[in-house]
Structures are given as structure tokens and as C-alpha cells.
Amino acid sequence: MRGEAVQMCARNSVMDIAYKNVPLSRQCTMTTLVLLLVCMAVSACADVETPTTTRSVDGATVAALHKSAEQGNATAQNRLGLLYNQGQGVPQNPLLAKQWFEKAAEQGDAGAQVNLGTLYLLGQGALESDQMALFWFRRAAEQQEMLAFAKLGFMYEQGRGVTQDFVQAYMWYTLSAARGETRALASRNQLTKQMTPAQVATAQQLAREWKPKPK
């Protein structure tokens, strides 16, 4: 995979939740369902916990997720994809992870769209494709998903699938940071050092004016 300058980090998306006696729908809404945020600087990744395959997910939880996912529940499909990607409670299988993320993404689940785009970006469970990564990140960005904004910032900063454009990168990082993604703020601050004041002013204006496309 290209990109020596790219520091790959991972967000552990399975929180320390006591699942016993918690309904499946509640389990899923309590869990952050996003993986593998591509970070742009070591400082931006320092506070990110590395995923582990040793944290247990019991068989009953996996079975309930499978049942719900097979019935078309996008949230369950996304979480099941995450478990297969990390090998938690099931054998690690990036191909199955992609299949479940894809099912959820096609239903409009923003977290799954980010996850699927990330697999394409990394070439895990799918052929590496910057264009497919961009496609899914943009779909999620239209739903104002903060990690999709951050990943689009990365794509524009690094010129992955697009012409390198620091103004666009700054804009996307700003939108992500405004929604609470601190790593996007760190990446934007680093990027600012390579930009002119006029470029920063233009990017700030674009961020203020950005709106999702009308459906």
C-alpha cells in the first residue's frame, strides 16, 4: 500500500459495554460503529486505542447480531462487519466484513459507508481503490458524518483519488473538527503551516458555506 507519510491508526469501535440484559437495538445504538480512521500525523493518533481481537464478544451477542443483520437491520450489519474485520467473537474475515458493511452502506448507514470506504482505501477485503473510497466517504459526508469529513480532508491533503488541494483539505478538516473530531483539528493545524493566509481564509469561507446537497 502506498503512502509512507500516512500514519495508519485505528479507533476501537467496540466499547466496554455490559451487554447482559441489554436489548440488541440498545446495544447497537450504544456502540460507536466506525473503524480505522486514517490519521495524518503521529500527534493526531496518540490518543487512539489500538483495536484488539482479545476482547470477548459472547456467542449469544453474535447470534443475535447475525439474526438482525440477516433481517436487514443496517446497524446490526455494520456492527457485524466490524466484528469480522477485527476478529471479535468470530474468525477474522475481511471479505465478510466488506459484505456486511456494503449491505448497511447501501441502506444509507453513514458509519458503514465510512467503514466500507476505509476498506477500499486500505485494500482490505477489497481491491484498493481511491475512487471507491471517495465515493463512500462522500456519501457519508452528505449525512454530515464527522469521520467522513476527516477522511475527505485526508484524501485532498494527500492527493488520493483527487488533485491535491490544501484548501479543500482544510475545509473538510474544519467541518469534522466542528463536530468534535479532535484528530481532524490536529491535522488541520499541521496543514495550516503549509498554507498562505489567503488560502486559509478561502478554506474557512468554504467551510462556513458548505451544505449537504438537496435530496
Query: Which residues 6+ apart lie within 8 Å of 34 measured at CB?
Result: 11, 13, 111, 114, 115, 147
Domain that holds residue 195: 7-209
Residue 92 maps to a domain:
yes
Could you report the per-residue pLDDT of 113-124, keeping only the tens digit for each? 999 999 999 999
What's the structural domain count of the chain?
1
Q: Domain holding 59: CATH number? A: 1.25.40.10
The pTM for the full model equals 0.76
- In one-letter notation, the amino acid at residue 7 is Q
Residue 1 maps to a domain:
no
Q: Which three cell numbers stand for residue 134?
A: 471517495
Low-confidence winner among 32-36, 108-112, 152-156 (lowest mean pLDDT): 32-36
Q: What percent of the chain has pLDDT over 70?
A: 74
> From its phi and psi, is residue 11 left (phi > 0), alpha (psi between -120 and 50) or beta?
beta
What is the chain's length?
A: 215
Q: Name the residue with higher pLDDT: 42 or 135.
A: 135
Residue 110 maps to a domain:
yes
Low-confidence winner among 5-9, 76-80, 87-91, 114-118 (lowest mean pLDDT): 5-9
What's the rounded Cα separation, in Å, for the pair 148 and 113?
8
2 pLDDT more than 50 = no
Residue 2 maps to a domain:
no
Residue 215 maps to a domain:
no
